[in-house]
Amino acid sequence: MLAGLLLAGIISLMFSSERVAKGVVEEFYSHESDGDFADSWKLLHPFMKERFSKSAYVQDRTHVFIGHFGAETFTYTIDDGEKLEGWKMEKGRSPFETAYKYHVSQHYKGKYGKFSFQQDVYVTQNEEGEWQILWDYNQ
Question: Please, what are the domains in the chain?
Answer: 17-134 (3.10.450.100)
**Using one digit for the tens of pLDDT, what is the confidence trace for 64-110?**
877 777 777 789 999 999 999 999 999 999 999 999 999 999 998 88
Residue 15 pLDDT: 54
Of 60, 26, 33, the closest CA to residue 133 belongs to: 26
**Cβ within 8 Å of residue 62, ≥6 positions away:** 35, 37
**φ and ψ at residue 32, rounded to 5 degrees:** -60, -45
Residue 30 pLDDT: 96
Residue 1 pLDDT: 62
Percentage above 70 pLDDT, the chain:
89
Residue 86 pLDDT: 96
What span, in angstroms and rounded, lies between the C-alpha atoms of 39 and 16? 24
